[in-house]
Amino acid sequence: MRTRALLVFIAISLFLPAAAFAKGPRDGRGPGPHLGPPSPEMLVERATEAGIDEATIEQLLAIMEANKDVMETLQKELMAAHDELRALVEADAPDRDAILQQVEAVGAMETDLRKQHLSIELEVRSLLTPEQWAQLRPPMGPMRGEGPDGPPPCEGPR
């Protein structure tokens, strides 16, 4: 029973990011399911507000376009892997080894997606001055679970 509860906890913690992917990107504003680089429209708006010239904006859009298919593929593969994990966990007789193997696969896919996000971000950043980057970079909110005073204390297993 304890093993099943642990597996359910692991699966739920992995499904939280998948819920954001399942809802799809919004317009790139504020908190919500949007992950990764801003939409092209949002990028142009923010770049224009930051005083970035049109030639550089075109380069930024080209970077996003060049990475669009890879990003979509990685996101679809990750969603499918999360769905497979969910099915394994919800099975009448869950296979612990298969679940843990799928958790590893999901983790690797999340890492690949994050690396791709950062690769795009670094490529964009290389075209900008530090001041432009400061205005254009993705906003960083508090970490998941953090309140105004930082993360909650660790209470250990219950």
Q: Where are the domains of the chain?
A: 2-136
pTM over 0.75, yes/no: no
Share above pLDDT 90 across residues of the chain, in percent, rounded to a whole number: 48
Q: Provide the β-strand partners of residue 147.
A: 150
Residue type, 148: P
Average pLDDT, the chain: 76
Where is average pLDDT lowest: 68-77, 117-126, 139-148?
139-148
Phi, psi values for residue 131, rounded to 5°: -65, -45
Q: For 137, what's the count of Cα atoms within 13 Å in the CB-facing half-sphere?
A: 16
**CATH architecture, domain defined by 2-136:** Up-down Bundle (1.20)
33 contacts 19 by C-beta, under 8 angstroms: yes
Q: Chain centroid to CA 13: how far?
A: 14
- The per-residue pLDDT for range 43-101, each reduced to its tens digit, is 888 889 888 999 999 999 999 999 999 999 999 999 999 999 999 999 999 999 999 99
Q: Which long-range contacts (CB under 8 A, 24 or more apart) does 11-14 make?
A: 11/85, 11/86, 11/89, 11/99, 11/103, 14/82, 14/85, 14/103, 14/106, 14/107
128 pLDDT higher than 50? yes
Closest among 74, 96, 76 to 85, alpha carbons compared: 96
The number of helix segments (H) and strand segments (E) in the chain equals: 5, 0
Share above pLDDT 70 across residues of the chain, in percent, rounded to a whole number: 63
- The per-residue pLDDT for range 1-11, each reduced to its tens digit, is 544 444 444 44
Which of the two residues, 27 and 56, has the higher pLDDT score?
56
Which of the two residues, 154 and 42, has the higher pLDDT score?
42
